[in-house]
Structure 1
Amino acid sequence: MRPWTNKSLGLGILGLFLVALGISLCVLRPIFFHHILQKGLALSSTSNSFKIWSDTSDLPPLIFKVYIFNWTNPEQLGIEKPHLDQLGPYCFREVRQKDNITFHHENKTVSYLQRRLWYFDAKQSNGSLNDIVNHLDVVAASAAHKIRYWDYDWQKTLSVILSTRKLYTRKTVDELLFTGYSDGILTMGKMMVTDPDIPAFDRFGWFYMRNGSAEFDGHFNMETGEGDIGQLGILRKWNYKDTTKYHKNPCNVIEGSAGEFWPPGRTKDDITLFSADLCRPLFYEYEGTTSHFGIEGYRYTIGKKTLGNATRRRFPHDQAKFFEQTTTTEDFFVAEHSAEMTGSTTENTYNGHSSENTDVYSDNDPDVINMGNCYCNGECTPSGLLNITLCRYGAPVFISLPHFHKADPAVLNAVEGLRPNDKEHSFSITLEPTTGIPLEVSAALQANVHLHSSEIVGLYNNVPNIYMPMIWFKLKAQVTEEMASNLRILLALPIVMLCSGIIMTIVGLCLIGAVALLSLFGKKRRIPQTDATTEKMVDNPEKKTEMVFMDKMGNNEDDNVKSDRRLYAKP
């Protein structure tokens, strides 16, 4: 085999290989990219995300902003609306750490405790921790609310204890937040508490005993995405159970993301996050597409599906096997609630204000329940408020968006000094849809205390029925520019693979075509010359030819006899 033939064969094989590889990259790139995501996003002790997830100390600091409402006219309650001035923000650097991390490879989950630490940042704060605040007496209000259905003697005893107190208290910001302040009612309650699930607090503060505690948020069990990246970040158990004790079936199920990881392949459907602070899942609705460092993301916000008091949801019967058996799904559907659904429209009234919510579910569908009744714990609220009383040891705490944003207007009109706006007071999560990586999280919630009258407890005989804003906080986190750059490279991989595949295919086809042309040209050069070809060359005067002399006489003469015949040139 000649050398040029060996080269042609090699080029042909190379061309076929490039074509096969190029087509494979074009056709199989989704599979390749999914494999890359599976390896890169799944949480393990050796993954790139593990260090960031387990300890945020080396990341740009998270800024936890706290705003406190100062009640300026507490002595005029019942005569004037409560007037509130917003103080702050009081800024804290937040660090999150995971403790007791245990990977369970048998079911592809990880268990952990979460510790949060806060460090006051005086430079970014608008005010001092020594600022004095007029605050509703939360301890007294909670005590009156807790025993409102107890025997008359108990309520009368509390009335005597509170007879020398006022509806409000004056404390420093530090006391209201982390340090806490002592109270006689707490001291008595500490001696009377027998329930092991209720901590015997000796002081009150909105974040008392939380700074640096690894047990306060509870025990988490989360999917790592090791077996199926589509399950990444999904919370499976909280405090060792897949249901909570704070709500009835089927609303007590643990569901949604743990809050730090989201499965890739996001759509514009709702997303769900389980909040340990609220002891329930929160539902986020798609709001629109936004851009962060040039990366497109889907923005989801808390809306009426979480804040509404007439939002319906279907729970199929075949899901009942996942719930606790203390009650059945069917039992809950026929249970009595404080607000009834009639027809496809549910009307709720608060202080003379009514609101309607109409949905498309049929009234005869036994699997559809009213989500407002689902979480109201027998005390349903106006829209925009979440009842977490049972989650907070019986204290009448109700959560809303800051400044009653998206709440029933009657709730907002009951007080003065609040100015809700969507930019500052929304709770939003922005996810990159392909990878599910959070681009920006803006968590904002407000704690309110339900203040209502009591016929027996004298301090609350004639108080109005209002939800008093106490405090709101905001935590904003976002990817850095360096993280965004790495994410852009990851997102460019499918396009790079497609372009590479097309280029490889074209180069391979070119090599195959070149080998075919070389082969054809080589065959033409090896064709033997005939008489006709020779004659043609002679006739052409421009080409150099060789003259051939031929004997035109017969060939029958003796070869040994000398002949004098002349030779004639062949025409």
Structure 2
Amino acid sequence: MFKKAPCLFGSAVVLGLLLAAAGILLLIGIPIDGIVNRQVIGQDFLGYTRDENGTEHPNKMTESWLKPPYAMQLNIWMFNVTNVDGILKRHEKPNLKEIGPFVFNEIQEKVYHRFASNDTRVFYKNKKLYFFNQTASCATCHLDLKVTIPNIVFQKLVDAAEMTIFGIRVKFAIESVLKMVTEAPYITVKVSEALFDGYEDPTIDLVCKNKILSFLCESNSLQRRVGFFYGQNGTTDGSWEVDTGVPSPFKIGHLYTWNNLTEMPEGTWDTRYARMINGTDGQLFSPMLKREERLTIFVPAICRSIQMEYSKDVSVSGVPSWRYVPPADLYDPARPENQAFCNKAGVPRYFENKTIQLENCLPAGLIDLSRCQSGSPRVYLSNPHFYNSPMEVWHAVSGLSVPSPANDLTFVDLEPTAGVPTQAKRIMQINVGMVKGSLSITENTTNVIVPVLWMNETADFDQGTRDQLIAIFNAKHYSFIGGVTSLSLGLISWLAVFVVIIIYSRQTDEEEYSRLVLEEEEPQAPESEDSTLTI
């Protein structure tokens, strides 16, 4: 048997080497990753496929893109101002009572799409519909519930009273109008009116009929119907032109134009850099994500692009995903690149401490939407409960919950190989800047930023998408198991050869030792008696 040992040892060594090499390759994912990645890249585009009859049909990605199967929901919490008299007469800060959630089921679909430039680009419009879900809402939440909120129209009158041209006449006219209404700085409306339906402020009719103030209506400074999401139910958010992923899947979703614009109008932000329309549309992401690379997303609601950065690994219904969140300093005016999102024309001063509020800027964590919205209302966007803003902003009102990243942070979870969203949560708070001005009704107030509502818009992937992503995960998981098994068998083969060699060597040494001992113990033949010494 041992005569054949060198051949057996050589075969075992070669087998072990092959198993170990295969195990290492499987562990680092080269064979499986290559196959999986090629399959993902080959399917990661918007377009059509042909059946056996030559008829074109949207591929699976395009079908999901046209009518996203995700479960989407919009949750809204209203802030009811409970102490209007105290604010106007006793210098009290606004006291807020949070009511909600008011839950709306959300459906999205592409109502228009057109491929262009040899199918490398697609134009589309995305329609959103919201349906109130009474069952999922809080027990006392119904759309007829009345809440007291800051009056945006009144703030336009405060600004008009500060006009230098004919200022006295305008101010006198405004004071006269305000004596004819029961509500002014704050107004009580139904939740449905504050959100999607909009409401008509009785002050507007009086202003428009006043000869001195009618210019406010003629210049569209005052909106006839006011609602924080008025006109956004059953409508689109503009026309998008994005890359289809052909020929390069790594460019899928890249945004070329929005409403045929490559940058926002000049008056939106103070520099061209800030007005750039870039990144993606927030619906399509490149495959083969890298943790160190940030995601750039254009958001029409705030007229700018934002960035998201990798935060941590998470598991969503068993699918390994990467969580991306906005950088903590995204809305920090102390950063030079954020200065352009301030307003060189001036911003009301809410805090005298310039470390809290820089000149012509809002405090950190807030973004001014006044130049982004029709009529330029003094509306500011922030994280809920002023998360990532100075605590002085939070202390300026009472009744707010303590901010926390678990409840108040926007995120999107992506499966990194396919770049497919597995879960998303868009959270924001809408606030109104209340300025004292020079009107008599506000003489006991101070400038303050008052929250109106905060919202949590969620999207969770469907079972079909989960099954596809699980298949990707399983391929790589089984590759890992196979790699461990193969590498282990290879090492065991080498170990077995090593053990056999040691045993064989010991046996050979013992046999050689025994032979030598036997040779030493063998008796010598006696010399002859008549032998003589010859010289």
| 1:488-537 CA distance string (max 9 Å, x none) | 21244467789999999xxxxxxxxxxxxxxxxxxxxxxxxxxxxxxxxx
- CA deviation string 1:299-321 (max 9, x = no partner): 12223331212124499xxxxxx
Displacement of 1:112 after TM fit?
A: 1.2
Letter in 2 for 1:410: E
Q: Could you say if the C-alpha distance between residues 337 and 303 of structure 1 is closer, same or farther in structure 2, counting changes exceeding 3 Å?
A: farther
Instruction: String of CA shifts for 1:14-69, please: whole Å, max 9, x gaps.
Output: xxxxxxxx99998676554443222322122512122222224xx35411111110
What is the Cα deviation at residue 379 of structure 1? 3.6
CA distance in 2, matches of 1:150, 1:81: 30
Q: 2:65 maps to what in 1? A: 53
Once residues 82 and 30 of structure 2 are traced to their aligned partners in structure 1, the CA distance between those partners, rounded to angstroms, is 68
User: What one-letter code is carried by the residue in structure 1 that aligns with 2:224?
Assistant: D
User: Could you tell me which of 231, 234, 257 is aligned with 2:280?
Assistant: 257
**Which of 133, 140, 148 is equivalent to 2:154?**
140
User: What secondary structure sits across from 1:307 in the alignment?
Assistant: coil
Q: Structure 1 residue 470 and structure 2 residue 452: aligned?
A: yes
- Name which of 84, 99, 110 aligns with 1:98: 110
Report the CA distance shift for 1:201/1:35 in structure 2 as closer, same or farther (over 3 A). Answer: farther
Equivalent residue letter for 1:392: Q
Cα separation, 2, equivalents of 1:190 and 1:93: 41
CA deviations on 1:208-242 (whole Å, 9 max, x unpaired) are: 2221123xx22111121122111111222111011
Counterpart of 1:177, as a letter, is L
Equivalent residue for 2:365? 384
Q: For 1:58-82, what per-residue CA distance to the aligned partner results, in whole angstroms no more than 9, with x for missing partners? A: x354111111100010111152221
Question: Which residue, out of 410, 422, 426, partners 1:427?
Answer: 410
Of residues 130, 153, 173, the one that matches 1:118 is 130
**Do the aligned residues in 2 keep the contact of 1:451 with 1:463 (CA within 8 Å)?**
no
Kept in 2, the 8 Å contact 1:293–1:481? The answer is no
Q: Residue type of the partner of 1:454?
A: G
The partner residue of 1:69 within 59, 64, 79 is: 79
Q: Which amino acid aligns with 2:289?
A: R
Whether the aligned pair in 1 keeps the contact of 2:70 and 2:461 (CA below 8 Å) is no
What amino acid is aligned across from residue 288 of structure 2 in structure 1? G
Distance 1:491 1:80, change over 3 A: same
Counterpart selection for 1:37 from 5, 16, 40 = 40
Letter in 1 for 2:353: G
Equivalent-residue separation in structure 1 for 2:125 and 2:177 (angstroms):
40
The AA in structure 2 aligned to 1:208 is Y
- In 2, Cα distance between the equivalents of 1:130 and 1:30? 55
- Alignment partner, residue 196 of structure 2: 178
Conserved in 1, the CA contact under 8 Å of 2:320 and 2:473? no
CA deviation string 1:266-308 (max 9, x = no partner): 2233322211111111222322221112222221222333121
Equivalent AA in structure 1 for residue 243 of structure 2: E
Are the aligned partners of 1:398 and 1:448 in contact in 2 as well (CA < 8 Å)? Answer: yes
Q: What's 1:523 paired with?
A: none
Structure with the greater alpha carbon radius of gyration:
1
Letter in 2 for 1:121: N
Paired with 1:143 and 1:272, the residues of 2 have a C-alpha distance of 38
- Aligned CA-pair RMSD: 3.6
Do the aligned residues in 2 keep the contact of 1:67 with 1:87 (CA within 8 Å)?
yes
Kept after mapping to 1: 8 A contact 2:379/2:432: yes
Q: 1:144 to 1:500 in 2, by over 3 A?
A: same
Question: Is contact 1:130-1:174 (8 Å) kept?
Answer: yes
Matched, 1:437 2:437: no
Unaligned 5+ runs, structure 2: 1-21, 49-57, 487-535
- Is 1:203 the counterpart of 2:211? The answer is no
Q: Secondary structure at the match of 2:147?
A: strand
* 2:469 alignment counterpart: 487
What SS does the corresponding residue of 1:250 show, helix, strand or coil?
A: helix
- Rounded Cα–Cα distance in structure 2 between residues aligned with 1:279 and 1:226: 28
Measured at CA, do residues 114 and 154 of structure 1 come closer, stay the same or move farther in structure 2, by a change above 3 Å? farther
Distance 1:171 1:337 in 2: 32
Q: Match of 1:259, SS? A: coil
Q: Residue 403 of structure 1 aligns with which residue?
A: 385
* CA distances 1:61-113 after superposition (whole Å, capped 9, x unpaired): 41111111000101111522211000111111111121221111337221111
> Structure 2 CA distance, aligned partners of 1:105 and 1:38?
21
SS at match of 2:46: coil
- Structure 1 position 450, deviation (Å): 0.5
Q: Which residue of 1 aligns with 2:302?
A: 278
User: In 1, Cα distance between the equivalents of 2:164 and 2:43?
Assistant: 57
Equivalent position amino acid for 2:200 in 1: S
What is the SS of the residue equivalent to 2:113? strand
Change beyond 3 A, Cα 1:264–1:75: same
Distance 2:246 2:72 in 1: 28
Amino acid at match of 2:123: S
Among 263, 272, 281, the residue aligned to 1:243: 263
Q: Encode CA deviations 1:429-458: one digit per residue, 9 max, x unaligned.
A: 111222211121011101000011212x33
Q: Distance in 2 between matches of 1:31 and 1:155?
A: 72
Is the partner of 2:455 in helix, strand or coil?
Answer: strand
SS at match of 1:468: strand
Query: Which is further off, 416-425 or 389-398?
Result: 416-425
Alignment CA distance shift 1:199-1:416 (3 Å)? closer
In the alignment, the residues of structure 2 paired with residue 60 and residue 489 of structure 1 have an alpha-carbon distance, to the nearest angstrom, of 19
CA separation in 2, counterparts of 1:314 and 1:139? Answer: 29
SS of 1:171's equivalent in the other structure is: strand
SS in 2 for 1:391: coil
TM-score normalised per structure 2: 0.72
Percent of paired sites with the same residue: 22
Q: CA deviation at 1:134?
A: 1.4
Q: Do the aligned partners of residues 180 and 31 (structure 1) sit closer, same or farther apart at CA in structure 2, a change above 3 Å counting?
A: same
Are residues 1:308 and 2:332 paired? yes
Q: Displacement, 1:185?
A: 5.1
Q: TM-score, normalised by structure 1?
A: 0.68
Residue ranges of structure 1 left out of the alignment (5+ in a row): 1-21, 316-331, 340-347, 356-371, 505-571
